Copies of this chain bind each other. A is one copy, B any other.
Amino acid sequence: MPLLVTGSIGIDTVTTPFGMSENCIGGSAVYFSMAASFFAPVRLVGVVGPDCPFNLSEVFSGRDVDLRGLERRSTSKTFRWKGSYHDTMEEAITEAVQLNVLAEAPPMVPEEFKDSGHIFLANTEPRLQLQLLEQISNPSFVAADTMNFYIEGRLDNLKKLLQRIDCLVLNETEARMLSGERNIRISAGAILGMGPKILVIKRGRTGSLLCNSDGRMFLLSAYPANVIKDPTGAGDSFAGGFLGYIAQEQKTDFETLKTAVAYGTVVASFTISDFSLSGLQSITRDDIEQRLGELRQLTAF
């Protein structure tokens, strides 16, 4: 069953200790779609301006990514982000951001996409996430991401969103901010109390934590990649692998969710191995399966 994603399509300029990638393709919906397409058909909903230098049909060539939800808004400009990573590359430093079209009305979900079952609302203003969700007739599983800016500035809307989704995916700093709790276990419990039945906390090089409202919990280490060149898109790729596997399996029991977290982890480890989408463009599902087996072996005791 197709998996629908709403999120950004961006023009990124990224500097890391391994080099610079100028005006390359980025954005949450792009990383998510590429990652999820290893597992399930993807429907992308996003908007760019006429300045967008990328041909998305070419970018997703050979992948089952339906671009009928891609809007080219002639009066707008494409989202741009310029950032850098230093030392251990754990934190992105934003040097410049131009929201451009992301600050306007969200794109419409096309009629043909409204029967989508699995939905990922990549991070944007929570009110917009709700508006996008309301366009879907009868979703079976809805996950969303958020970020510090909306936790601090749009908490009321975010709390409404949390009542409407099945699963929240966010990073550890955001989880602390949202819950007001330093301890990850207590923080997770507090967030589950806000509505979602399932919570995934992305912890960077620490790995990830999955938990649900029945008190189940799962901890997974990050894959120890030999090569980490550019962490951009790791979180969205993780979400793409995670949701992609859930859409493939059409199940959300805890064992399936655990495996989905492992696939998300592995896909993200390929993303960070190179700049922009290169790490994901050069692999096959077999590479993912092989690394999943390795991760299983590395963590079993």
Name which of A87, A205, A221, A255 has the most chain B CB atoms within 10 A of its CB: A221
Complex Cα distance, B176 from A296, in Å, reads 26
Cβ of A87 and Cβ of B226 under 8 Å apart? no
Is A1 on the interface with B (CB-CB < 8 A)? no
A205 cross-chain contacts in B, Cβ below 8 A:
184, 206
Cβ of A207 and Cβ of B221 under 8 Å apart? yes
Copies in the complex: 2
A296 cross-chain contacts in B, Cβ below 8 A:
301
A225 cross-chain contacts in B, Cβ below 8 A:
183, 185
Closest to A224 in B: B185
Cβ of A185 and Cβ of B88 under 8 Å apart? no
Is A218 on the interface with B (CB-CB < 8 A)? yes
Cβ of B221 and Cβ of A259 under 8 Å apart? no
Cβ of B301 and Cβ of A259 under 8 Å apart? yes
A218 to chain B, nearest CB (A): 6
Q: Tell me the residues in window 13-53 of chain A with beta carbons closer than 8 Å to chain B beta carbons.
A: 17
A226 cross-chain contacts in B, Cβ below 8 A:
183, 185-186
A298 cross-chain contacts in B, Cβ below 8 A:
217-219
Given A205-B206, A224-B209, are A219 and B299 also a contact pair (CB < 8 Å)?
yes
Is A136 on the interface with B (CB-CB < 8 A)? no
Interface size class of A (residues with CB under 8 A): 20 to 34
A176 cross-chain contacts in B, Cβ below 8 A:
88
A96 cross-chain contacts in B, Cβ below 8 A:
none
Is A228 on the interface with B (CB-CB < 8 A)? yes
Q: Tell me the residues in window 275-301 of chain A with beta carbons closer than 8 Å to chain B beta carbons.
A: 296, 298-301
Is A251 on the interface with B (CB-CB < 8 A)? no
Closest 8 CB pairs of A and B: A219-B221, A206-B206, A258-B301, A185-B224, A219-B298, A185-B226, A219-B299, A221-B221
| Contact surface of A with B, Cβ cutoff 8 Å | 17, 87-88, 176, 182-186, 203, 205-207, 209, 217-221, 224-228, 255, 258-259, 261-262, 296, 298-301
Of the A-B pairs whose beta carbons lie under 8 Å apart in the complex, a sample of 23, sorted by A's number, is A88-B176, A88-B182, A183-B225, A183-B226, A183-B227, A184-B205, A185-B226, A186-B226, A203-B206, A206-B221, A207-B207, A209-B224, A217-B298, A218-B301, A219-B221, A219-B224, A219-B299, A220-B299, A220-B301, A259-B301, A261-B301, A296-B301, A299-B299
